[in-house]
Amino acid sequence: MCGIVAYLGKERAAPILIDGLKALEYRGYDSAGIAVLEKDGVFLERAVGKVAVLEDKVAKRGESEGSVGIAHTRWATHGGVTERNAHPHRACGGAIYLVHNGIIENYKEIKSELKSKGHEFLSETDTETIAHLIEDIRKDVSVLEEAVRLALGKVRGTYGIAVVSEDEPEKIVAARNFSPLILGVGKNEFIIASDATPIMKFTNNVIYINDGEIVTVTPSGYRIRTIGNEEISRDPEVLDLEIGIVDKGNYPHFLLKEIDSEPDAVRDATRGRLEIGSGNAKLGGIERVEDEIVQVNRLHICACGTAYLAGAVGEYMIEEYAGVPVELDLGSEFRYRKPIFEENDIFLAISQSGETADTLASLREAKEKNVLTLGVVNVVGSTVSRETDAGVYQHAGPEISVASSKAFVSQVAIMALLTLFMGRRRGMSLVTGERIAKELSAVPAFMESILRRKEEMKKIAARYASYTNFLFLGRKYNYPIALEGALKLKEISYIHAEGYASGEMKHGPIAMIDENFPSVVIAPQDSVYEKNISNIQEIKARRGPVLAIATEGDKDIAKLADDVFYIPKTLEMLTPLLSVVPLHLFAYYIAASKGLDVDKPRNLAKSVTVE
């Protein structure tokens, strides 16, 4: 959600900033802008639409020679998608320029006060208020970073900001509160960004800025202090990422590449962590709290979006095989419902980015209650990874497409590992543990066998692409997968789809079924197979088209369903890792056939860092 890039060095800033914005395009945005400090003023350009539109406008203006600048991709919150609402914003005096991710909750009160002092506002945004506030404070404060610090003391809300001033042209001031910022420390240059992707080609030495911290960079170095004016000493750490992993290669879209990478995501999540002989899982990141995990009374799983659905699969796994009661919550609900924690409860946050605002706020709620906190995250050094007591990294690599695919299966695989880890320490037999570990190790090869039949799913998707409504049904372990299948179709094709527990179909959704309302039914040969078959029969009795996801060798289901896509046989608890692959392909091929921007769906952002 939105993106920030700022550069200070010896090179021309404009091309570096534009390239940085391109690296952040996967986050979702609707406008972009750039401000570069020049000898005779500020080179400011903003544009609605893609970064390429901004790049064209910058090129038409001629080369910008400045070596200090800020840039931004905006996802509209306050005010419509217009050029005047795009960032960077400037104060009415013209010296202060600012980019911002987040939401300022008390901007109306601040704006009203500033208007009474004569400040003139040009946009509808909350962001512009911060620029004017800094300018107003600078009437009495000569140093930019001090004015920023005092301004942020008056602000309530979430923010990642980067500020420059014509009065101090060799300086960038940045700050963070609930919106991620990273400082890249290069040789005679600094890059500040909202995630690591714009930084990777320049340096792998980074400093993660924490909430409530302000960083100032000048040609002589960097300085970190808190909003409370406490000096912070922090050395760079090495960022372990490869530039090439964010290249889509010969694929038409990142999403297809990432779906093809799902087997590797499961391999990387389980590599070195499966002990088949002992039927166990080795999770080094949580071993130091092993005693507390063994004594757990109840596990609270908290997440948002697709990560929540991975947690829902984990809920079934952990309760059935580890014997631990699980309470699953959406981050956006957990933080407001006054959750009750008891002795030996554990809180588990799942977040691909490690920056999801609602999940992070819920984590902090749990920490305030002195609950042991665990995390499952994909981004090393993210806020969730730093603030939890212990956790497990996904090792899925950067996921560029907004719609999650490989990160989801990675999270589900870790739920299986966590089930083994907890279960074997709480009474799970060696035989059961060995069977789960052995089957989990075979899952990537099973997934690859599904992906070799992509063309089969492409043809099936073509037969359903003209429909405007879908019902996705699943039971037990595959109920969350029905939700995931519907979510993916909605996200990238803009087709209405509902995910439902199969047993709930008769409690309302069946009223919608007719020949124009197809159902996708996940019906592997598991403990609820017969129940799912009954649901298919009920749909067919009402002339509803059915696409079934079924176990290889099941010939009977082909007599009922209009189309069947087969998946290999595996343990019931692991079927979600297989059944989700064709559903991801189904959504992808329908969206691609419509010529849609599959990697960057409208109105969506990769990392949701505001409520």
Query: pLDDT tens for residues 2-38?
Result: 889 999 999 999 999 999 998 888 777 889 999 999 9
Nearest to 588 by CA among 397, 445, 396, 405: 405
> What's this model's pTM, rounded to 2 decimal places?
0.81
pLDDT of residue 243: 45
Predicted confidence band of residue 1 (pLDDT cuts 50, 70, 90): low
244, 270, 298 - which closes a domain: 244
Q: Alpha-carbon distance 24 to 196, whole Å? A: 9
How far is C-alpha 266 from the chain's CA centre?
Answer: 18
pLDDT at 355: 86
What's phi and psi for 526, nearest 5 deg? -130, -165
Q: Which residue has the higher pLDDT, 357 or 610?
A: 357
The answer to whether residue 610 scores a pLDDT higher than 70 is no
Distance separating alpha carbons of residues 33 and 47, to the nearest angstrom? 6
The predicted pLDDT at position 611 comes to: 55
The continuous run of DSSP H or E covering 550 comes out as: strand 546-551
Give the C-alpha separation, 98 to 42, whole Å.
Answer: 12
What is the rounded average pLDDT of the residues 479-494?
A: 97
- Tell whether 415 and 469 lie within a shared domain: no
CATH at residue 377: 3.40.50.10490
Residues 397 and 470 in one domain: no
Task: Tell me the torsion sign for CA atoms 200, 173, 34, 607.
Answer: positive
What is d(CA 418, CA 282) in angstroms, rounded to the nearest whole number? 9
Overall average pLDDT of the 53-77 stretch: 90
Over the stretch 425-465, which tens digit does the pLDDT of each residue have?
A: 999 999 999 999 999 999 999 999 999 999 999 999 999 99
Q: Identify the sign of the CA torsion 285, 280, 310, 196.
A: positive
* Residue 375: pLDDT over 70: yes
The pLDDT value given to residue 20: 92
Q: Decide if pLDDT at 244 tops 50.
A: no
Residues 149, 124 share a domain:
yes
Contacts of 19 (CB under 8 A, 6+ apart): 198, 201
* Helix intervals (H) in 138-260: 144-152, 254-260
**89 and 180 part of one domain:** yes
Q: Which residues are catalytic?
A: 2, 606
pLDDT at 179: 85
pLDDT range class, residue 249, cuts 50, 70, 90: confident
Three-state secondary structure call for residue 403 = coil
Same domain, 536 and 579: yes
Burial class (CB in 10 A: 0-12, 13-18, 19+), 542: middle
Please say which residue of 244, 276, 301 terminates a domain: 244
Q: Are 211 and 177 in contact (CB under 8 A)?
A: yes
Same domain, 534 and 474: yes
Residue 353 pLDDT > 90, yes or no? no
Amino acid 402: pLDDT: 87
Place of tokens 């993916």: 488
* 8-state DSSP, 178: B
pLDDT of res. 241: 56
| Domain range for 340 | 249-452
Distance CA 524, CA 537 (A): 16
Rg, the chain, Cα only: 25
Q: Are residues 304 and 432 in the same domain?
A: yes
SS3 of the chain: helix, strand, coil, percent, to 5: 40, 25, 35
Same domain, residue pair 391 and 474? no
Tell me: do 21 and 151 sit in the same domain: yes
Instruction: For residue 331, give the H/E element and its range.
Output: helix 331-334
Average pLDDT over residues 92-99: 91
- Assign residue 354 a region (left: φ > 0; alpha: ψ between -120 and 50; beta: otherwise): left
In the chain, the number of structural domains is 3
- Using CA atoms, how far apart are residues 184 and 202, in angstroms rounded to an integer? 8
